[in-house]
Structure 1
Amino acid sequence: MKNPNSRITFPGDGPWVAVSQHKMQKWATDEGTGPLAIRVMFAAIGHQNSTGHAELAKGELCRILGRADKETGRLEPAGSDTVSRAIRNAKASGFIAPESGARCLVVPRWVAIKRARDAWTCRVHGPQVA
């Protein structure tokens, strides 16, 4: 008999697809990917654990959403206002959950689920159950 906890299921038992978290992380840092709200969603999916929480170090989302200086080519981190606006827009679009912030992006279970049997503790949101 199959273990029901080892299976990915979406509401309505709809279809699903696997994605590369490494690719999601790369797209999150790529200015050409699109609007910052989309890049926030890619960062969330790219870093999420089995409970949908993507814990980030202080300033990490600023770095992820940064852009290359046109003259030097050096990466310039995004400002905190830019990051806050990007998070707000991602929330408004439903790309991330309302409880998300710069230190922990939360992926709604209807967007993406990571298969794992572990329970995780989020430094920002406390204990979580997979």
Structure 2
Amino acid sequence: DGLVASISSDVRPRAVLDELVRLGMAEEGEDGQIRLLATGFVPRQGFAEMAQLMQDNLHDHLAAASLNLEGEHNYLEQAVFVDQLSEESAHRLHVVAAKAWRQAFKTVMTEAQARYDHDQKNTPAGERNRRARFGSYFYAADQDERPS
């Protein structure tokens, strides 16, 4: 209830839960506990919104890398590189990367919510003008495939 109320007063928490259950994203146990069944959600409609999210994400990733190259900042922007893998090994690495992302997501999201809550209570609205983005990606392809 608190999570839904913190995001919107237009939608009732029960309606959000019912929709998550309908989509197979969550289930409500007999004890009243809610259990998420999926680690993420990508809507099937709303291409424009999805494209905007991707554009914003790509912008921020490139901005972090560019500012690091210019020596102006030291943003987190790292990747693991490995080649000469079999398809099976690349798949296994993908599974491990997804598991690592889930843990990182929980840790960073918990702190992001705590910082947001803190700032809402303790920082004047005019001073709450920063945004932050944390992400991860995984990509595998044949070694001969290079961007053109």
Asked if TM exceeds 0.5, the reply is no
Q: Which has the higher strand share?
A: 1
Q: Which has the higher helix share?
A: 2
Larger radius of gyration: 2
TM-score relative to the length of structure 1: 0.27
TM-score relative to the length of structure 2: 0.25
Q: Greater RCO between the two (CA within 8 Å, min separation 6)?
A: 1
